[in-house]
Structure 1
Amino acid sequence: MGIVSLYLVSFVRDTYVANLQASLDKQARFVSDSVSEKGAIIPIAFTEQAEVEFQAFISSIGQITSARVTVIGADGRVIADSLQSPSQLPSQLGRSEVRAVLSQDSASSVGIGSPLDGSFAEEMLYAVVPITSSVGTGGVVGAARVAVPSSQVQPDVNRIIVSIAVAAVLVGLLSVGAGYFLFRHTSRSVRAVAEGANRFAQGDLGHRVAAASSDETQELAVAFNSMADTIRSMLSDMSAESSKLTAMLDTMEDGVMVIEADGRITLMNSAAEWMLGVGAGDAVGARLVEALRDHEIQQVAALSLSSGRLQQAEVELLTQRRFLNAIATPLGGGGTSGILLTLHDLTADRQVENTLREFVTNVSHELRSPLASVKAMVETLDDGALEDGRAARDFLSRINREVDRMNAMVEDLLELSRLESGQQLPSLTPLNLSELVSEVVSEYRDRENGVDFRAFLPQSPAIALGDYGKLRQVLVNLLDNALKNTEAGSVEVSIEAGEGMHFVRVRDTGAGIAHEHLPHVFERFYKVDRARRDGGSGLGLAIVRQIVQAHGGEVRVETEEGRGSTFSFSVLRH
């Protein structure tokens, strides 16, 4: 309506001015015809009386037409004017419209121009037509000019503009009213659809949109409800698949990581967290080079991302002391979409290999010495020492001791193997732990070894659940170990009652154990001082640990280098 109103205002103004100019042209022709009918020959001089009458005649025409009427001679001089004295007005030959009419270049001239006196106070709408002589050849003897001020036009134009504005406002109000009622008619169903869409966006896929009327929104509501059903079904399927995948990833022993093309980690399972020592909360979303400082894993991932091919390498994590097999597999078929990094823990395999290697080495070392000794003595006997009865008996006695030593080592190995495999489980029966400790300590006290053996027992008997023979073997092995490390001093055995357990402690005043050896004292064939030939196989403490663990207890060691060691184990109370 605004655009139409602007067009109408411009159109009406132009039309009104054009009609006014056409009216001025008719009035000017009326003046021209009137002057010609009077028989005035311009510019022949009038008499004074005739000039006054002609001036009055022109003034009357100006009053009738409500316009300024001017008669101009052929020489441009103003002959008569309805508003001013002709003597006060300059020659009009300077005006193009007057020259065009007087020179017969134009039959008439209409337009907008300045007043006749040459001032620019107000623009005038004018029409100029030629005056022809009524006698003779009828040539142009002057010009008639009719003009009105442009300000006279504006009130009429303003009235028209006001009318158009009022009409535009009325039409606009009617349009707003009609639109409001139409909006009220359809807004309820639109609001229902909008509310349903918002609830869908918030995750409430169980909500259903009900349109308030059977208009176009009804189809939209049906479409929204159908979309919600489809999305709900898809999300249910995706949630089930995601749960399966999450459960599978969390129960995998191998570490799994997904790394995007820009190097950012988007997935990490619990096995990868444990292997790398990095939490998923800190790693997911970060770059691999930021979350993990291991250069070898970074290099495997970078090569797979750049080449788009599978890369594999065995890496060692020094901080976690782990050996991993890292496999980087490109995703998306080209490596640009990211990689799947799989980490397989080889630490246990390496430990088994190392244990087997150490076992073979230790067994070879332990058997080499007695076998070498037996071989040397057999060769000596074969070279003639057999003829010497005394020397032969001495060699045979040594050979017998070495064979007993090897046999004891084999028996210990077999027993340790049976304990570790669970083939030889202890028979748990109630026993008096105090009597067992007192009996074993008495046996060692009777030996002449320069070491004072003492027992500190509770006042009431300590009744435990265990295998008498196995627990006796534990005490014997611990006392043997204390005796080997205590050349002079004392060995004390004590029993303390705890919550559901009895604790047996064997403390010696020997040389103690260096702290770097503590993690290995219960390993098979491990000897703190390998240079000392004490006849031990290095299996005693390993057997102690296996027997105590089979009884449901724990064995520990506390030591202070130079001041002795304390071995303790626990056994169930009865």
Structure 2
Amino acid sequence: MRDLVLIFTIALAAALAVGVAGALLLRRLRHTSITVHLYVLLTVTVLAVVGGVAVVAEAMFLSPHDLEVVLITVAAAAVVSLAVGGHFGRRLAAAAVWTAQARDRERQLEKGRRDLVAWVSHDLRTPLAGLRAMAEALEDGVVHDPETVGEYHRRIRTETDRMTRLVDDLFELSRINAGALRLSLTAVPLGEVVSDALATTAPLAAARRIRLVAAESGWPTVVASEPELARVVGNLLLNAVRYTPEDGTVRVEAGRERDAAWLAVTDGCGGIPASDLPRLFDVAFRGEPARTPGQGVGVGGSASGGLGLAIVHGLVEAHGGHVDVQNTVGGCRFVVRLTAA
């Protein structure tokens, strides 16, 4: 019995020595990844067993041959334990990281949904109240002169169109997020899409005395779905016009780099805080006060804020492309990269 107690004490001391060293190592590696922690923990556990067996075998005064057999057996068991533990440890670490990322992503999506609901509710409340007031005034005969009645009708139609565009944007965004967007990819001349978008944006730009400047040549052909690509270009132009001060300039240019084509829209918004750049394409994000829209003519709908840039990001990603934004002198530059035809 005394020998068994002695053997247990020797093995415990050896295992404790390895365990203390492992604990100190883990403490120094506390800022590393979970995979490193699992490998260190597994190695310490196996070495504690190996160390205890080796010390006890040495203390028992075994013959050199028997001691060698014991050590080889323990080493083989240690190799198998480390291999099996390492394999499943990596899987557990990956699962833990994936679960944490999924949880963070879910929280971000939930916050985005709450922000979207709050933003849409805010943007609908004011026009709906105005529509109701004008409809009641027309119904009760408060206004009689044809000019005022015509103005009320014009405002009702304008606000109705604005809310229709907002509903269309919400539907488009829901298709993107649900993965229900189906693209019919063809070779699309980028110059023609930009020309149409410029023609659509020109009245708004003229009302705010904003110059639209585009290159006359050098427009590449891209692999894209034309309706969705037109939506991307239109949203970027409307966004640029909205945030550029009056008498400013919006520039559109494009080019080709090997198998990729790029389109750039540069505005005069005054720049975006660096902390806001990663969030600029989030749903319902508005970069105020840095990007303060000019007063006067509004763009209507949500193409210039809230949903417009989120739709741009989703449509470009659906094409297998990439969109980013960076500050320039006096403004910011949105760059879309797509596959060149």
TM-score (norm 1): 0.42
Match of residue 68, structure 2, among 181, 196, 199:
199
Mapped partners of 1:438, 1:397: distance in 2: 29
Partner residue, 1:554: 322
* Residue 472 of structure 1 pairs with residue 230 of structure 2: yes
**Compared CA separation, residues 349 and 444, structure 1 to 2 (3 A):** closer
Q: CA deviation at 1:548?
A: 0.8
Mapped partners of 2:185, 2:191: distance in 1: 17
Mapped partners of 1:405, 1:444: distance in 2: 15
* Residue 348 of structure 1 pairs with residue 139 of structure 2: no
Structure 1 spans left out of the alignment, 5+ residues: 1-192, 206-227, 254-270, 276-321, 323-344
1:83-111 CA-to-partner distances (Å, cap 9, x unmatched) read xxxxxxxxxxxxxxxxxxxxxxxxxxxxx
**Compared CA separation, residues 378 and 442, structure 1 to 2 (3 A):** closer
Partner residue, 1:242: 85
Partner residue, 2:180: 423
Mapped partners of 2:135, 2:199: distance in 1: 39
Q: Tell me, yes or no, if the aligned pair for 1:491 and 1:506 is still in contact at 8 Å.
A: yes
Q: Tell me, yes or no, if the aligned pair for 1:457 and 1:495 is still in contact at 8 Å.
A: no
Partner residue, 2:279: 520
Mapped partners of 2:94, 2:268: distance in 1: 50
Amino acid in structure 2 at the alignment position of 1:482: A
Q: CA deviation at 1:385?
A: 2.3
**Compared CA separation, residues 451 and 235, structure 1 to 2 (3 A):** closer
Determine helix, strand or coil for the equivalent of 1:448: helix
Mapped partners of 1:564, 1:497: distance in 2: 23
Q: Tell me, yes or no, if the aligned pair for 2:163 and 2:301 is still in contact at 8 Å.
A: no
Match of residue 402, structure 1, among 150, 159, 181:
159
Q: Tell me, yes or no, if the aligned pair for 1:385 and 1:392 is still in contact at 8 Å.
A: no
Once the two structures are superposed, the pairs formed by residues 16-35 of structure 1 within 5 Å of their partners are none
Q: Tell me, yes or no, if the aligned pair for 2:165 and 2:301 is still in contact at 8 Å.
A: no
1:376-415 CA-to-partner distances (Å, cap 9, x unmatched) read 2123223322654443332222122112111110110000
CA root-mean-square deviation: 3.2
**Compared CA separation, residues 442 and 389, structure 1 to 2 (3 A):** closer
Amino acid in structure 1 at the alignment position of 2:180: Q
Partner residue, 1:391: 148
1:241-295 CA-to-partner distances (Å, cap 9, x unmatched) read 6356425422322xxxxxxxxxxxxxxxxx39x97xxxxxxxxxxxxxxxxxxxx
Amino acid in structure 1 at the alignment position of 2:115: E
Mapped partners of 1:506, 1:564: distance in 2: 11
**Compared CA separation, residues 443 and 395, structure 1 to 2 (3 A):** closer
Partner residue, 1:566: 333
Instruction: Give the total of aligned pairs.
Output: 268
Determine helix, strand or coil for the equivalent of 2:276: helix
Mapped partners of 1:391, 1:571: distance in 2: 49
Mapped partners of 1:501, 1:573: distance in 2: 5
Q: Tell me, yes or no, if the aligned pair for 1:458 and 1:495 is still in contact at 8 Å.
A: no
Q: Tell me, yes or no, if the aligned pair for 1:512 and 1:559 is still in contact at 8 Å.
A: yes
Determine helix, strand or coil for the equivalent of 2:337: strand
1:507-548 CA-to-partner distances (Å, cap 9, x unmatched) read 123433333432322122222348757335221111111111
Match of residue 310, structure 2, among 538, 542, 564:
542
Determine helix, strand or coil for the equivalent of 2:284: coil
**Compared CA separation, residues 427 and 235, structure 1 to 2 (3 A):** same
Once the two structures are superposed, the pairs formed by residues 126-525 of structure 1 within 5 Å of their partners are 194-203=63-72, 205=73, 242=85, 245-253=88-96, 271=97, 346-385=103-142, 387-442=144-199, 444-445=201-202, 448-449=206-207, 450-456=209-215, 458-459=217-218, 462-486=220-244, 487-525=246-284
**Compared CA separation, residues 536 and 558, structure 1 to 2 (3 A):** farther
Determine helix, strand or coil for the equivalent of 1:402: helix
TM-score (norm 2): 0.68
Q: Tell me, yes or no, if the aligned pair for 1:501 and 1:572 is still in contact at 8 Å.
A: yes
Q: Report the structure, 1 or 2, having the larger strand content.
A: 1
Q: Tell me, yes or no, if the aligned pair for 1:464 and 1:502 is still in contact at 8 Å.
A: yes
Determine helix, strand or coil for the equivalent of 1:424: coil
Amino acid in structure 2 at the alignment position of 1:405: R
Q: CA deviation at 1:346?
A: 4.3
Q: Which has the larger radius of gyration?
A: 1
Q: Tell me, yes or no, if the aligned pair for 1:507 and 1:567 is still in contact at 8 Å.
A: yes
Structure 2 spans left out of the alignment, 5+ residues: 1-61
Tell which has more relative contact order, 1 or 2 (C-alpha 8 A, sep 6+).
2
Q: CA deviation at 1:195?
A: 4.2
Q: Tell me, yes or no, if the aligned pair for 1:485 and 1:512 is still in contact at 8 Å.
A: no
Q: CA deviation at 1:471?
A: 1.1
Mapped partners of 1:445, 1:382: distance in 2: 36
1:295-336 CA-to-partner distances (Å, cap 9, x unmatched) read xxxxxxxxxxxxxxxxxxxxxxxxxxx9xxxxxxxxxxxxxx
Mapped partners of 2:138, 2:200: distance in 1: 38
Mapped partners of 1:509, 1:363: distance in 2: 27
Determine helix, strand or coil for the equivalent of 2:315: helix
